Amino acid sequence: MLKASIKSFIAVSLATSFFSFSVSAQSLKKLPETKYSRAEVEMNMRFLASDELQGRRTGEQGNLVAARYLAEQFRYLGIKPAPGQTTYLQPVPFLIQKSAKEGLLIANSDTLHSGKEFVILGGGAANFSADVVFVGYGQAADYTKDVKGKIVVAQVGTPESKTPQEIFAAANDKRKLATEKGAALLIELFTAQIPWNFASRYFGNEKLSLDNGGSNGVTHVWVNGQQKKYTDLFKSGASSAKFQTTGRDQQNINSYNVVGVIEGTDPMLKNEYIVVSAHFDHVGTGKKGGNTYTPADSIFNGARDNAFGTVAMLTAAKTLSIQPAKRSILLIGYTAEEVGLLGSKYYAEHPLVPLNQCVFNLNSDGAGYSDKTLVSVIGLDRTNCKAEIEAGCKAFGLGVFGDPAPEQGLFDRSDNVNLAAKGIPAPDFAPGFKSFDGEIAKYYHQATDNPDSVDFDYLLKFCQSFAYSARLIANKSVRPYWIAGDKYEPAAKALYGK
């Protein structure tokens, strides 16, 4: 009797489970994500990563064409511009600085050369001698002496700086402070855990920065402090120094973020926005691409980084415009990720929808894929939306791998971090990988990363999973939040007031 009851119970349970799965599968088939075609993702990929767009470098024509393509896709789908806007294009002002042709820094019997022992981050032509003053980390409390007209020397970063982004942000703050103090030159002793050859080459080449609308400030250089003799020289060995340079020529340009809104269906929840984002820029052509190339192929197409994520964002734009979710969707295509997350930084400081109405950001960016059975989500366990992301991927046959290569600090290296820093829960949805292996390196920022190298069946599943995950989060009954104790939780409490 007992055995018969157990058998009966198991049979009923299995039948119920099968019926529930069948209903769920039938419901899924009604969603536009399942009807999205491989042909459409391939069309978007082949256009965005085409040779004709010349690597979509910020400030160049291919980048502008990509922005226009996103805007016209939004228009075609009936997506609205952000509230109060008449266009999908948010102008982002930039300053391009050319490389310095010449530069010398002479202290005691040592002569340092621009591009070798030091790199000029910014500033015009100069030729002067001045006293040297060491100011610790160059923060406000470190200025205990009058430094007007003097050469200020500081340690790179701050005592708390960990990531390259934090070091670069600190450099900007130091330059502003040194300018206010009237310094003639700011020297930072570069001792960060980044190879000097890379830092010198990267920051000494043509540089794109946000235009703050005013003076670019005091001339600012990094000296190779990884060489102890230069650290000793400028911290205590030299009382004065001579500096001369041709400076860095500069020009103003505009690029654009692309922003659209899909209104939610729930009378209350539609006032909350899920930000669905990806950056559409890449690194350009030839020497600007930063890696090896040949006369036969000098275009860094950026199929994986980040036409992949941009196509996923366009997929979500279409499917969520066909059948909107309960919460509203804020779509953002960012420019200038490759030059320092600048498009997203600008948006975070100049939002078109109040940030406290944006309750989640699902961003898509990555270096490529080496596992086509899954997606990798950086920050998967940091919010209460893990279940929705896993369900969104499972529906299209993909698993989820959380936080690959933790030693790389990937969460803070993509556009999601600029909204996260404001308090908005913001994981990054990336193509499948578990570590930076040879398959990733083969294409990452390489001229070989073109559409013909992409697995379009995997791209389709990736895009469907991204769009469906966004839908599930937008329909979630509980408002998204950071898991307790996350480093960005205090910012969230300040933003949302709880």
* Segment 122-138, tens digit of pLDDT: 888 999 999 999 999 99
User: Do residues 138 and 186 make contact, with C-beta atoms less than 8 angstroms apart?
Assistant: yes
Based on the number of CB atoms within 10 Å of its own CB, is 476 exposed (0-12), middle (13-18) or buried (19 or more)? buried
What DSSP state is assigned to residue 353?
Answer: S
Angle of helix 456-474 relative to helix 386-394, nearest 10 degrees, comes to 140
161 confidence band (pLDDT: 50, 70, 90): confident
23 confidence band (pLDDT: 50, 70, 90): very low
The percentage of residues in the chain with a pLDDT greater than 70, rounded to a whole number, is 94
pLDDT at 308 over 60: yes
Instruction: Identify the pLDDT of residue 418.
Output: 97
In sequence order, the 6+-apart residues with CB closer than 8 A to the CB of 261 are 79, 80, 81, 82, 83, 273, 328, 329, 330, 331, 353
Angle of helix 61-77 relative to helix 308-322, nearest 10 degrees, comes to 20
Instruction: Identify the pLDDT of residue 214.
Output: 54
CA distance 235 to 232: 5
The arithmetic mean of pLDDT across residues 184-191, rounded, is: 96
Q: Which DSSP helix (H) or strand (E) runs through 223? A: strand 219-223
Instruction: Identify the pLDDT of residue 162.
Output: 67
pLDDT at 118 over 80: yes
pTM listed for this prediction: 0.85
Instruction: Identify the pLDDT of residue 216.
Output: 63
C-alpha angle with apex 213: 209 to 215, nearest 5 degrees? 85
CA distance 239 to 150: 11
The percentage of residues in the chain with a pLDDT greater than 90, rounded to a whole number, is 81
Phi/psi of residue 210, nearest 5 degrees? -65, 140
Q: Which amino acid is at 337?
A: E
* Segment 438-497, tens digit of pLDDT: 999 999 999 999 999 999 999 999 999 999 999 999 999 999 999 999 999 999 999 999
Closest CA to 225 of 121, 154, 130: 154
* Segment 201-248, tens digit of pLDDT: 888 888 888 987 655 689 999 999 999 999 999 999 999 999 999 999
* Segment 246-265, tens digit of pLDDT: 999 888 999 999 999 999 99
Mean pLDDT of the chain: 92
pLDDT at 7 over 70: no
CA distance 396 to 469: 11
Radius of gyration in angstroms for the set of CA atoms belonging to the chain, rounded to a whole number: 25
* Segment 38-68, tens digit of pLDDT: 999 999 999 999 999 999 999 999 999 999 9
The arithmetic mean of pLDDT across residues 137-151, rounded, is: 96
Torsion of CA 51, 309, 369, 488, to 10 degrees: 140
